[in-house]
């Protein structure tokens, strides 16, 4: 078998545009970090780090809106079912809008509670509150954009997610520079830039989705009726993926919370270093998204050959890209740190933990790909169980913090990623060997 087969080309056709668009997400984070990191106090950077972590925890808890939408849409696409295709958009979009409006209306008590749980110095928490009070105005648009991204990815309309992510994030970057640096709005400028960009992205996404709906012969009347029916399947799937998302967000929030309890410099340094991991993860997620779409299509068509071919291609190509990231961080990590902050103490401290950023891409790539396999097959239960195992390993590894300090946090994160990959790999192999990946009665595994 060659290294670059037809399956590899099919994978890259969807993965490459997703990689380029995905990296604009952490690029935005890098710009935020660099802009805030060059202000005259580490309190600003710490505040944005905590604010971004709290936002990620809340919004990513609802990541099932994107993940379940991709899986169900890809299956409907593979089965050539326009009714199911309309339902895969309408139902999660309604959930997203209701949840987003609730967050917007109750953001003040939610912010107060969140920051109380996080803890940290008064100065850092004050900046975090200023950031969140504006940032969460975007909640309805942010959650609706998850659904639109997942749906457009599920129908393998590769250009649409690219346009959504690139245009939205580039607009955010431009506004970030203007509002933070030009207008002197500090953390509030970074938050307002995101709010404006999210609503602009929502408008673009709605136009693109409507274009695809018309091409698939789905009318407005069909879409209005699509929120009815088969709700139980969606709720069961979303329940499992939400629990999975809750566990992952607890683990990642722990990095910021436990870092904050070690001091302002540690929480700021971890924010800098998380930029490495986030950039890598979003880039490799381009492959995971492609696997989701192909896995879901193969599930809908019950095509074993297509599924195996795309999995092998993903292992080859994503593994090579992960190795490339590790080499770049090994050779240029110090220069990247210097570009992100001008604070000398933070530069020196960040270099002490740079080795973890070299290892993490090689450990994490496998869990990203396997996530894609299970999302496409809408196997939320297995994803939930795997995440529980990984979270338990993460929690146990945190016991090393009294001896290892901040290195214990990064060790726990590596264990977390490794256990996700190992447990999902074992489940995938077990289901495949027992011929249970495609249910024999034709029903979804969440039913």
Coil, helix or strand for 147?
A: helix
Q: What is the pTM of this model?
A: 0.72
- Residue 419's closest CA among 400, 399, 391? 391
DSSP assignment string, 1-61: --SS-HHHHHHHHHHHHHHHHHTHHHHHHHHHHHHHHTSS-HHHHHHHHHHHHHHHHHHHH
Q: What is the mean pLDDT of the chain?
A: 82
Which tens digit of pLDDT belongs to each residue from 408-424? 999 999 999 999 999 99
- Per-residue pLDDT band for 38 (boundaries 50, 70, 90) equals low
Which tens digit of pLDDT belongs to each residue from 358-417? 999 999 999 999 988 888 887 888 888 999 999 999 999 999 988 888 899 999 999 999
Which tens digit of pLDDT belongs to each residue from 179-212? 877 777 777 888 888 899 889 999 999 999 888 8
Outline where DSSP puts E strands in 156-297.
none
Q: How far apart are CA 279 and CA 328, in angstroms?
A: 12
Largest CA distance in the chain: 63
Q: How far apart are CA 311 and CA 232, in angstroms?
A: 30
3-state secondary structure 359-418: HHHHHHHHHHHHHHHHHHCCCHHHHHHHHHHHHHHHHHHHHHHHHHCHHHHHHHHHHHHH
Q: How far apart are CA 158 and CA 168, in angstroms?
A: 16
């Amino acid at each position: 078998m060659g290294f670059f087969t037809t399956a590899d080309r099919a994978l890259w056709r969807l993965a490459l545009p997703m990689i380029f668009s995905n990296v604009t997400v952490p690029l935005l984070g890098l710009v935020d970090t660099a802009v805030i990191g060059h202000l005259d106090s580490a309190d600003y950077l710490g505040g944005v780090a905590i604010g971004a972590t709290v936002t990620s925890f809340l919004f990513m808890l609802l990541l099932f809106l994107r993940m379940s939408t991709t899986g169900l849409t890809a299956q409907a696409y593979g089965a050539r079912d326009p009714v199911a295709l309309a339902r895969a958009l309408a139902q999660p979009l309604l959930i997203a809008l209701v949840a987003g409006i609730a967050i917007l209306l109750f953001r003040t008590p939610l912010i107060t509670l969140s920051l109380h749980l996080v803890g940290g110095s008064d100065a850092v928490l004050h900046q975090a509150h200023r950031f969140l009070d504006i940032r969460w105005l975007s909640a309805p648009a942010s959650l609706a954009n998850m659904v639109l991204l997942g749906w457009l990815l599920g129908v393998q309309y590769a250009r649409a997610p690219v346009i959504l992510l690139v245009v939205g994030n580039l607009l955010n970057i431009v506004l970030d520079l203007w509002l933070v640096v030009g207008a002197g709005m500090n953390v509030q400028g970074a938050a307002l830039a995101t709010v404006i960009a999210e609503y602009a992205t929502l408008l673009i996404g709605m136009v693109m989705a409507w274009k695809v709906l018309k091409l698939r012969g789905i009318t407005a009347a069909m879409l209005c009726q699509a929120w009815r029916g088969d709700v139980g399947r969606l709720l069961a799937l979303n329940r499992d993926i939400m629990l999975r998302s809750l566990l992952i967000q607890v683990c990642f929030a722990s990095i910021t919370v436990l870092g904050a309890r070690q001091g302002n410099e540690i929480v700021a340094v971890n924010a800098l270093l998380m930029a490495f991991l986030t950039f890598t993860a979003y880039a490799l997620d381009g492959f995971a998204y492609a696997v989701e779409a192909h896995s879901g299509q193969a599930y809908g068509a019950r095509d074993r050959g297509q599924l195996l071919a795309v999995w092998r291609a993903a292992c080859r190509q994503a593994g090579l890209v992960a190795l490339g990231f590790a080499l770049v961080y090994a050779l240029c990590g110090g220069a990247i740190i210097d570009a992100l902050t001008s604070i000398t103490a933070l530069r020196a401290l960040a270099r002490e933990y740079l080795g973890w950023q070299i290892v993490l891409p090689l450990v994490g790539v496998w869990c990203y790909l396997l996530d894609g396999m299970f999302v496409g097959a809408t196997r939320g239960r297995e994803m939930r169980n795997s995440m529980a195992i990984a979270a338990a390993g993460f929690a146990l590894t945190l016991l090393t913090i009294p001896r290892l300090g901040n290195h214990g946090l990064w060790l726990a994160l590596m264990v977390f990623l490794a256990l996700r990959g190992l447990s999902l790999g074992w489940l995938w192999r077990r289901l495949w060997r027992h011929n249970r990946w495609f249910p024999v009665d034709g029903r979804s595994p969440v039913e």
